[in-house]
Amino acid sequence: MRCELCGTEQKLTIHAIIAMGAANGDLVTVSYTCNECRRFQEHLAYAADVAAALGQVRWMAKVIMFGDEYIHCGFPMEEAEFEIERLCYRSSSSGGLSTVSLPTRVLRCRCGFQLEVPE
């Protein structure tokens, strides 16, 4: 895995690795940013190539999405016991509060870091 613009293999920050499904064999979609030229890239790759690149990468996003899992501190985050389901905002045209329901789940890392993600 290397930056398509500058060619570096060492200075990549990986953000997500998503399996394409059984029908596509060992293909995954990988997204990363090159720290050398600051270019974001996303493309198909073989899982073995991405695994080899993970051994060389020095930077990871603080939270990496690996399939359906969110990884922080090297471990999958677990669902917390509470959810935030409502957002309120004041409309300038009507002057009143409007409520929007947004189904989310809160994930918690072993270190205490929490992340709210849509369902």
Query: What is the reported pTM?
Result: 0.59
**Number of domains observed in the structure of the chain:** 2
pLDDT in tens, 12-66: 888 888 887 766 678 889 899 998 999 999 999 888 888 777 766 666 667 777 7
Both 52 and 91 in one domain: the answer is: no
Looking at the DSSP bridge assignments, the partners of residue 29 are 18, 44
Both 55 and 87 in one domain: the answer is: no
Domain of 19? 12-60
Residues ≥6 apart with Cβ < 8 Å to 86 = 99, 100, 101, 102
Q: Is the dihedral of CA 107, 116, 102, 83 positive or negative?
A: positive
| Higher-confidence position of 84 and 6 | 6
pLDDT in tens, 84-110: 555 666 666 766 666 666 778 888 888
